[in-house]
Chain A
Amino acid sequence: DQQVKQNSPSLSVQEGRISILNCDYTNSMFDYFLWYKKYPAEGPTFLISISSIKDKNEDGRFTVFLNKSAKHLSLHIVPSQPGDSAVYFCAASALSNYQLIWGAGTKLIIKP
């Protein structure tokens, strides 16, 4: 049973436009969410996180939105740049359990 779902395996966006990556979760105990970026032949690197006490967290071009009632979060990248082309993973955790539960990833392609 997938507790964290990224339903779009890939997404193609024009350079300069907004990229929106989506993530849904089923476990209402999750209260901390993270986004990671992964380039080929490298390990995932942390991008941005959000706690369930917030509904938005912003870091430069990256903003994560959390909708707890819908059990949905999204990552917005504005403006999208060629270096943003990577696989993006959504991960979730509950304070009572240290493990991160990972989504399957979305491959973002930024077109010039």
Chain B
Amino acid sequence: DAGVIQSPRHEVTEMGQEVTLRCKPISGHDYLFWYRQTMMRGLELLIYFNNNVPIDDSGMPEDRFSAKMPNASFSTLKIQPSEPRDSAVYFCASSLRQGPDEQFFGPGTRLTVL
């Protein structure tokens, strides 16, 4: 298996623009997680899905952030409009089983908002 795939790997945009980050989880994994990593706050969970359904989005910082999972093999995280403070590395992860279990992470998308 190719592992969790994220695109793009790097994104540079200007403040106010819409940004869409993409993730393909490992086939057969029922859980998908979106994380954000910053120097100040470390690794934060933004939202997670179970069988394509959002379960907990309490980590999503503002209404400017939204996430979807239209099918088992694809998810998006959208920021509209983007702001410089959104600059961070965004990770997608997936896991197989219910309950605490190891999560498999993608390589991340480094977002820079100018």
Contacts and interface: CB of A to CB of B under 8 A. Distances in A.
Contact of A43 (B44, B98, B99, B107): B107
Contact of A100 (B42, B45, B91, B98): B45
A42 interface: yes
Contact of A45 (B45, B55, B98, B105): B105
A100 B107 contact: no
Contacts of B104: 45-46
Nearest to B98: A98
Interface in B9-53: 31, 42-45, 48
Interface in A77-98: 89, 93-95, 98
A32 interface: yes
Interface residues of B, number: 21
A99 interface: yes
Contact of A95 (B93, B100, B102, B103): B100
A21 to B, nearest CB: 15
A41 B100 contact: no
B99 to A, nearest CB: 6
B104 to A, nearest CB: 7
Given A31-B100, A43-B93, 20 more contacts: A34-B100, A41-B108, A43-B106, A44-B43, A44-B105, A45-B104, A45-B105, A46-B102, A46-B103, A46-B104, A49-B102, A89-B43, A94-B100, A98-B31, A98-B48, A98-B100, A99-B48, A99-B56, A103-B42, A105-B43
Interface of B: 4, 31, 42-45, 48, 55-56, 91, 93, 98-100, 102-108
Interface of A: 31-32, 34, 41-46, 49, 89, 93-95, 98-100, 102-105
